[in-house]
């Protein structure tokens, strides 16, 4: 582990670390905010999963997360969105390859040797964080767009691992929209039955935990009707009586201006769950 950035912020420290990932077979970076409450003892961790084209920098520099994390005493970890580097498979388009890991475990060549972002986010990264930093072992997860898809999927696939989950503008049914169909066909192959394991709307039907889902969606989001379709998540949750709070925010788009506007409410949601006895 090598610390490559450190900035004082709201009484805590915003850092960026680099390490060699065994799961991904490459060097990875992640941002970690360490709140001032760590002076009194270990704190719980919120994992943030970013969207297409992003890396570890977007969320920590654009959202204003540090103020909210300091107010609630939460460590916030923001990993990169995919494996990267020479020798890691890539594509010419922004929605496949490096910067577009989709938080799944790829099974198809040439992606399978590196693209295992689910195992990285769920297992390897938390183990590393909990060894390196004074974390309690309590976790929550959130994300945006592709990362919103990732947050919902890792929570639904891993019952008991997270205290809470939320998402901004998530891709809720990747099996049914162009972004997801392109990525799933490449990473998982053309047999669509394998796609269900990575689709939040499909996972709701077999969920073994009724972890409430908190979702905010901008009404002026340019990707709303083509790629996001939150009504599909609403229908899936209604069919299974799975708790969902879906808030449609009129006038808001897909940008970090939207995320920053409602991030305080998401942080309060996670803090309440993480600090509950």
Give the pLDDT score at 209: 95
Report the DSSP pairing between strands 165-168 and 2-9: unpaired
Report the DSSP pairing between strands 2-9 and 12-21: antiparallel
Helices 256-275 and 65-72, axial angle in degrees (round to 10): 10
254: domain CATH number? 3.40.50.1820
Query: What value does the mean pLDDT take over residues 132-143?
Result: 97
* From 9, 140, 142, 145, active-site residue: 145
**CA 195 distance to own-chain centroid:** 18
* From 80, 199, 216, 221, active-site residue: 221
d(CA 37, CA 51): 29
Measured CA distances, 199 to 87, 127, 195, 276 (Å): 28, 25, 7, 29
Is 221 among the residues known to form the active site? yes
* From 72, 149, 254, 266, active-site residue: 254
Total tally of structural domains belonging to the chain: 1
pLDDT of residue 277 exceeding 90: no
Query: What value does the mean pLDDT take over residues 113-136?
Result: 98
Domain with 187 in it: 2-274
Residues 3-20: pLDDT tens digits? Answer: 999 999 999 999 999 999
Residues 217-270: pLDDT tens digits? Answer: 999 999 999 999 999 999 999 999 999 999 999 999 999 999 999 999 999 999
Is 140 among the residues known to form the active site? no
Query: What value does the mean pLDDT take over residues 133-147?
Result: 97
What are the counts of helices (DSSP H) followed by strands (DSSP E) for the chain? 9, 9
Burial class (CB in 10 A: 0-12, 13-18, 19+), 19: middle
Is 166 among the residues known to form the active site? no
């Amino acid at each position: 582990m090598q610390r490559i950035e450190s900035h004082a912020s709201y009484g805590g420290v915003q850092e960026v670390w680099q390490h060699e990932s065994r799961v991904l077979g490459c060097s990875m970076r992640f941002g970690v905010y360490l709140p001032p409450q760590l002076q009194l003892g270990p704190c719980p961790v919120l994992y943030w999963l970013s969207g297409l084209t992003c890396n570890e920098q977007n969320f920590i520099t654009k959202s204003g997360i540090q103020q909210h994390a300091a107010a609630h005493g939460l460590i916030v970890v923001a990993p990169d969105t995919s494996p990267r580097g020479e020798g890691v498979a890539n594509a010419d388009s922004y929605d496949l390859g490096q910067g577009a890991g989709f938080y799944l475990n790829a099974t198809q060549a040439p992606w399978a040797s590196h693209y295992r972002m689910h195992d990285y986010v769920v297992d390897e990264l938390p183990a590393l964080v909990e060894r390196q930093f004074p974390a309690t072992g309590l976790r929550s997860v959130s994300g945006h767009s592709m990362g919103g898809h990732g947050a919902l999927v890792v929570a639904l696939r891993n019952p008991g691992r997270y205290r809470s989950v939320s998402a901004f503008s998530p891709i809720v049914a990747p099996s049914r929209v162009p972004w997801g169909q392109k990525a799933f066909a490449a990473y998982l192959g053309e047999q669509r039955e394998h796609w269900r394991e990575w689709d939040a709307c499909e996972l709701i039907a077999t969920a073994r935990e009724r972890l409430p889902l908190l979702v905010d969606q901008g009404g002026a989001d340019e990707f709303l009707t083509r790629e996001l379709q939150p009504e599909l998540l609403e229908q899936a949750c209604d069919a299974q009586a799975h708790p969902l709070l879906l808030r449609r925010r009129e006038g808001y788009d897909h940008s970090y201006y939207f995320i920053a506007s409602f991030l305080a409410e998401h942080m309060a949601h996670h803090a309440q769950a993480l600090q509950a006895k």
